[in-house]
Every structure is written in structure tokens, then in C-alpha cells.
Chain A
Amino acid sequence: MNAFSNTIVAADRARPAMAGGDPDIVISADGLVKTFNGEVIALDRATFDIRRGSFVSLVGPSGCGKSTLLRLVAGLIAKTGGELSVLGHGVSGPSSDVAMMFQRPTLLDWRTAVENVLLPTEVKRSATNADRRRAIDLLNLVGLKDFAFSFPRQLSGGMQQRVALARLLQTGANILLLDEPFGALDEFTRERLNLELMRIVEDVDATVLFVTHNIAEAIFLADQVMVMTPRPGRLARIVDVPFERPRGVELMQTPEFNGLVGEVRSILGGH
């Protein structure tokens, strides 16, 4: 598959000539390139648009440039070539519209859960009582009502990742970048957290870019799946996921779902 023939958001919708002109497009990349040390191509000419409020999965094997793409959008690394804009503006650094969550919880061991959640606020200004109430509310939302004053070392891996999710939401950003957020957790915990994640991002009406190497997970969560292939990192195709929301785990047993899993697998297998 050629990377250039698959630059569509949806099969039936024409790509707008100017991404910045469409207020519905929150992230837009055109021929986006990232090389490291001038030779290693981490991301090769990716072109895509992401619509407001959509949940987009990035799936592919290790080294396909998923994390690179996410870090470019987060403004943590600079692009080498092409165009990348978020909310119509070129990306030049971290922005308060974009927040990121990592595979590891990256909590501060010396802060209680609620103090960790409050961190994004405290980086910007001193926290008010309203900020504190919001932090407590967010911990309730992720199911940690009784653990607000526990330290990370007193929490399980799944609970730590819930704290990280609450901290992500505390930023108030409406573009959420999640880099294999539950990848280090066991299967059962991951499935439960995925379901909660879907519920929560629908609540807060965010646009989500979700990196995973699990094809079923990518499809189950997303409106679109960006399939990426390695060496060099390339956006091979964007697949639409037609299933209605809300979705339950039983969806994963349907032939339609498994058909789509097979389709994505064959795109990945062809490389």
C-alpha cells in the first residue's frame, strides 16, 4: 500500500483544500516528516486530518513511528519537514490545548494522589479551592474516591494509571494524547480501564489520539484507526470503524468486528 493514496478521513468525504479553514478539523498533518540525527526516518510523510470529538487509534508494531507522531502533536519534539497544525495553528511547542498520558503512570512518589492530579494546575498558577474540588471530583470520576490522600506507592499499577488519567483531565485540554496508557497492566485491568476511558472521554467531549499495538483494542475504542508500518515509520491506511456507540465488550465477539481486525492485520502483514 502506498502511503499517499490513503490520506482520507472518511471514504465519502472529500479532504478540504485548506485544513486550517475547516473548524471541525483539530489536528492536521500534511507530508509530516521526522528524522533523527538526519538519517533515521522515524516518520515518513504522514498526511491525515482528525475531526473534533473523534477517537482515533494509532496501531502498529514497535518502531513504526506511533510515539514519534504523538510527541510531534504534543510539541515535545520538532518536525523535520511537512506541515502539522493543531486547532489551525502550527505546532511550535507544548500547548495547553493538548495533554499527554504515558505508558507508565509518571506520578510523583512524594505527592498524594490528589496532589498529583493538581500538578497541571500548579505548574501554571497557584491552585484555588475550585481547582482542589475539581481534582477530587476527577478522582471520583476515575473511581478513586477513597484513595485521594494515598501515595502512589500505596496504590496498585491500575490505580496509579487511574490517577494519571485524572491528572490528564485536570489539564482541561480537549485534545488528549494517550501513549499505550494501559499497556503495562494485566488484561483484565486493561479491558476495564478501556471501557471507563470510553465513557469518560465521551463525558468530557475530547478529541483522543490513542497509541496501541493491540489491534482489537485499537478498533474497539476508536472511530478511526490509523494503521502504521515500520522501517521507515509510515501511515499505511486510515480505517473507519462503523460500530455504534455505546459499545460493550460483546462487540468483540461479532463477525463484523473480527472482519475488521482481519483487515487491519492484513494491512500490517503486507509490510
Chain B
Amino acid sequence: MSLAANEHFAGSPQAGSARALVIGRIARHLALFLSIIAVWELASATQFVDPLILPRPSAIIVALYGMLFVQGNAWYHMGITLWEALAGFVIGSVVGIALAVAAGLSETFRRYISPYVIVLQVIPRIALAPMIIAWLGFGTSPKIAIGALICFFPPFINTLTGLVNTDEDASEMFRSLGASKRQIFFSLMLPNAMPIIMAGLKAAISLALIGAIVGEFISAGEGMGVLMQRYSFALNMAASFAVLVMLTAVGYLLFVAMEEVDEYLVYWRSDARMAAMSRRCAKAWRAD
């Protein structure tokens, strides 16, 4: 949509000033960011702030470069943490959505499981992490389990909310057409709940990453959590910050990936995607 608008303006006399506005805005944001980094660099270099607390940004970049491209050890650990987070996310979400579907379809089931779900929600689930490690040992599986446990709740509660809030008139309309329960579920309830289910999944993926790292803190030989602990305990703060930057990047990429999936699946919430689907539908129909 915005791309099309820009193209439209490209040939017009306002195009130059519109572009100048955008460039000006980007420049101001960049200037602010670079000033913060510069002040930080200066404060740390002149020992105004203890470099043990805030190492120089240039030192962080050097550490980052070293871990990624000189020693190259960060990739392996990132892979481990990413795998634990993704596996935890998939297991937690599948279990959460499956339970929510069962609870959404059967009021009896909903009544029976709701106290357990509430207990599970009010437990500080991180506190279970040492117990899970005691049960499952030292490999990646306890980290996956912790991630799954922590991220289970948003997909569960969002799916349940989405299914229970099905529009009463719409389901009456389906029943008046003689639709079966199965048809009502797949053609009405599930697509209707999709936007809120996706919101739950977006929350879950960040939580799964937290779960994996907490698991690694408690006991692990590999993963980003281990690197973080190792460097912090050695007071190598530049390397610790470098790990933090990498984890931020991983978290951001996971979130952006979920946003993309969301926009793909819930196309009816985006003007641009609706226009594209309209054209596709029109083409398919004209072919018949």
C-alpha cells in the first residue's frame, strides 16, 4: 500500500519534498542514536563510567566480531538456543491450542480443566525450572520443556477466548443452513479466532526464548545462556554485551517471522493483502 503510494508520487512535483521529509526523519533518528553511542563511548573511555559496568561500544563491536567471525563459536551456541526455543514454542503452542480447542468445544471439559489452568498460570513457572532439570537431566530436552511450559499459556487462553467469542448470529446463520458442528468449527469458529490465536503465538515465541535461556542458566554446557554466564562471571562485560546483542537479534528475528506468518494467515486484516487476495480470487473465478 505504502509502496504503491510512493510510486504514485514519484512523478509528481511533491515527490521531492515528500522524500526529503522521510530522509530528514530517518536522519534525526540516526543522529539521536549515534549521539547516545558517542556519549557512551566517551563516558566509558574517560573512565567517567566504570568500563566494568558499561564497556565501550567499540569494545562490544570488537567482541561481537570476534565471536561471530574470528573464533566463530557463537553460531553453534546460537543454533542450540534457537533450537531449544523453537522446539519449546512448537510443543507449548500445540498443547495449548489443542487443550483450548477441546475446552472451547466442550463446556464440561472447560469446567474441569479451568482450575488447573488457573493454578498453572499463577505458579511462577520459572520456579519449576530446577525441578524440570532434575527430572529430565542436562541435555536440551529440559530447556525445551521449560520453554514449552512458559509459553503454553498465551496460545491456550487466546485460542479459548477466540473460540468462545464466536459471533452468535453467525453460528445461528450456519445452523440455519443445516451446517454440522464440524463445519461450524472449521468454517466459522477457527478462522474467526485466527487473529487472536496469532497474537497468542507472537507472545509465546518470545517467552519460549526466555525459557530456553533460563534453562541454560541453571544447567547447561552450551547455548547463549551459557556464554552469557561464562563471560559475566569472568567480568568480560564487552563479550556479555555482545551476547545480549545477539540474543536481541534472535528474539527480533523470531518476532518478525511470526508477524510475517500472521500477515500471511490473517490476510483479511491487511488492506494490501486483501487487495492481493481479491485479485487472485477474481483470476481463479474467471478461469472457470
Which residue numbers of A lie inside 8 Å of B, CB to CB?
71, 74-76, 94-96, 98-100, 102-104, 106, 108-110, 112, 114-115, 119-120, 122-124, 129, 132, 136, 148-151, 153-154, 171
Contact = CB atoms under 8 A, between A and B. Distances in A.
A131 B142 CA distance: 55
B176 A100 contact: yes
A171 B177 contact: yes
B277 A151 contact: yes
Contacts of A95: 178
A94 B285 contact: no
A-B residue pairs, 3 tightest by C-beta: A149-B282, A106-B170, A100-B176
Contacts of B245: none
A74 B176 contact: yes
A267 B70 CA distance: 92
13 contacts: A75-B176, A76-B176, A94-B176, A100-B176, A102-B169, A106-B169, A108-B188, A114-B281, A123-B179, A129-B288, A148-B282, A149-B285, A150-B278
Contacts of B282: 148-149
A153 B274 contact: yes
A159 to B, nearest CB: 14
Interface in B172-192: 172-179, 183, 187-188, 191-192
B268 interface: yes
A94 B172 CA distance: 10
Nearest to A171: B177
B202 to A, nearest CB: 19
Interface residues of B, number: 27
A95 B177 CA distance: 8
Given A149-B285, A150-B278, A110 B175 contact: no
B50 interface: no
A151 B177 contact: no
Given A75-B176, A123-B174, 5 more contacts: A102-B169, A108-B188, A123-B178, A123-B179, A150-B278
Chain B interface SS verdict (over half): helix
B159 to A, nearest CB: 17
Contacts of A103: 169
A103 B191 CA distance: 22
A247 B102 CA distance: 53
A106 B174 CA distance: 10
Q: Which residue, of A74, A112, A171, has the highest number of chain B Cβ atoms within 10 A?
A: A112
Interface string B150-176: 000000000000000001011011111
A123 B182 CA distance: 11
A196 B266 CA distance: 34
A148 B284 CA distance: 13
Contacts of B75: none
Contact of A96 (B170, B173, B178, B279): B178
A76 to B, nearest CB: 6
Contacts of B268: 109-110, 151, 153
Contacts of A102: 169, 172-173
Contacts of B177: 94, 99, 119-120, 123-124, 171
A232 to B, nearest CB: 23
Contacts of A129: 288
A98 B285 contact: no
Interface string B241-265: 0000000000000000000000000
B176 A112 contact: no
A81 B176 CA distance: 21
Contacts of B188: 108
A151 B172 contact: no
B267 interface: yes
Nearest to B288: A129
Contacts of A108: 170, 187-188, 191-192
A124 B176 contact: no
Interface in B29-77: none
A114 B173 contact: no
B158 to A, nearest CB: 18
A149 B175 contact: no
Contacts of A115: 281
